[in-house]
Amino acid sequence: MTEAHGHTTRRDPSRAELTHLLRSRGQRVTPQRIVILRELRRERRHLGADDVRQAISDAVPGISLPTVYATLDLFVELGLVRRLHVGGGVTLYDGRIEPHQHARCRICGEVQDVDGAPDDAALRAEAQRSGFAVEQVDVLLSGVCQRCRNAG
Amino acid sequence: MTEAHGHTTRRDPSRAELTHLLRSRGQRVTPQRIVILRELRRERRHLGADDVRQAISDAVPGISLPTVYATLDLFVELGLVRRLHVGGGVTLYDGRIEPHQHARCRICGEVQDVDGAPDDAALRAEAQRSGFAVEQVDVLLSGVCQRCRNAG
DNA sequence: ATTGGTGCAAATCCTTTGCAATAGC
DNA sequence: GCTATTGCAAAGGATTTGCACCAAT
């Protein structure tokens, strides 16, 4: 038995990180927050707010969607997760912090990670020419994923 | 008088283009479509669906939002305009076709154009390694625009 | 004991849908 | 005249808000 039925305690690197960040801002460490962050870090898929709620419904049975939204907003502000705006008004959350970009299949809608940072020097320079202070660069590739190419 | 109160007729390059595209697909050339495309081509800002309706409310007084949405969807499919998903679930439409990217101010939300194509060779290659067929690359810069930097 | 966080219910916002009337072709 | 397109009204789905209760510090 490795660690069985994921409970909130026990060696969880994301938990210490979270506790520290929240405490330093006078905010509270709640089970909801612990579980949501752990889920985002564990899951390699990209989750919407309701996906998150479903994914943790065992660990935190009665959690409400407003709480999930509030928590995700907080995590984005803390820099713990990335918010992703893919097509169709869909908003997803990504627990991976390492620099990487995203590719969205126009057939099935699935979003996959693409490792690597964009070579954005030229675009940055161009934006800064007009006085825009660039803080972040998001790249979204669109196309057709392997599975849909095989199916189609 | 250059050409005064923009009416739908008279030398409008976008109109001929639109007529041709629609006819070739057995679709109809309506005043709503003509005016919406002309507005998107003329306006250098990026417009949401309701912005479009307001912008053309003089030319097409009774136009409904569902019609605006349907028309924008059609134009995106025809490749006449680009759909932009910027933060906050906001969807904007861009009548400029030439390759360019976008920068969104995190303070005021304004979206400005950034000329130039991304140097995306490395990311494309990485995505294709996993069987993903890249068709399009969208880059969204985030940061603070000139005006908000001065104000702040 | 304080007061930030949660859950609930309802409100809001954007977008889509169903359908009868209208207008391109 | 045929049928795509429109406008209206209403539905739908995602996210936010207000407030009373609860629980982390």
- Residue of B69, B73, B83, B85 to mutate, interface with A, max A Cβ within 10 Å: B85
Q: Please give the pLDDT value at position B10.
A: 61
- Asked if the Cβ–Cβ distance from B139 to A131 is below 8 Å, we say no
A144 CB neighbours in chain B (<8 A) are 132-133, 135
The region that residue A118 occupies, defined by phi over 0 for left and psi between -120 and 50 for alpha, beta otherwise, is beta
Any strand D atom closer than 7 Å to B33 CB: yes
Any strand D atom closer than 7 Å to B59 CB: no
- Could you say which of B87, B118, B121 has the minimum Cβ distance to residue A139? B118
Q: Is A84 helix (H, G, I), strand (E, B) or coil?
A: strand
Q: Is A151 helix (H, G, I), strand (E, B) or coil?
A: helix
- Could you say which of B103, B123, B135 has the minimum Cβ distance to residue A132? B103
Residue showing tokens 């417009």: B47
Q: Tens digit of pLDDT for each residue in B117-149?
A: 899 999 999 999 999 999 999 999 999 999 999
B86 CB neighbours in chain A (<8 A) are 85
Q: Please give the pLDDT value at position A10.
A: 60
- Asked if the Cβ–Cβ distance from B134 to A115 is below 8 Å, we say no
d(C-alpha A48, C-alpha A93), whole Å: 6
Q: What percent of chain B has pLDDT over 90?
A: 80
- Asked if the Cβ–Cβ distance from A120 to B122 is below 8 Å, we say no
d(C-alpha B7, C-alpha B2), whole Å: 13
Residue among B13, B119, B8 at smallest CA distance from B58: B8
Residue A119: CB partners within 8 Å, gap ≥ 6?
B118, B119, B120, B121, B122
Calculate mean pLDDT across residues B47-67: 97
- The pLDDT confidence band at residue A2, using thresholds 50, 70 and 90, is very low
pTM for this structure? 0.89
Whole-number CA gyration radius for chain A: 18
- Asked if the Cβ–Cβ distance from B87 to A85 is below 8 Å, we say yes
Calculate mean pLDDT across residues A69-90: 93
- The pLDDT confidence band at residue B6, using thresholds 50, 70 and 90, is very low
Nucleotide D24 C1' to residue A121 CA (A): 46
Q: Is A98 on the interface with B (CB under 8 A)?
A: no
Q: Between chain A and chain B, how many beta carbons pairs sit less than 8 Å apart?
A: 138
Provide long-range contacts, Cβ within 8 A and 24+ apart, for A94-100: A94/A40, A94/A46, A95/A37, A95/A39, A95/A40, A95/A41, A95/A42, A95/A43, A96/A44
Q: Tens digit of pLDDT for each residue in B59-112?
A: 999 999 999 999 999 999 999 999 999 887 899 999 998 999 999 999 888 999
| More confidently predicted of B152 and A21 | A21
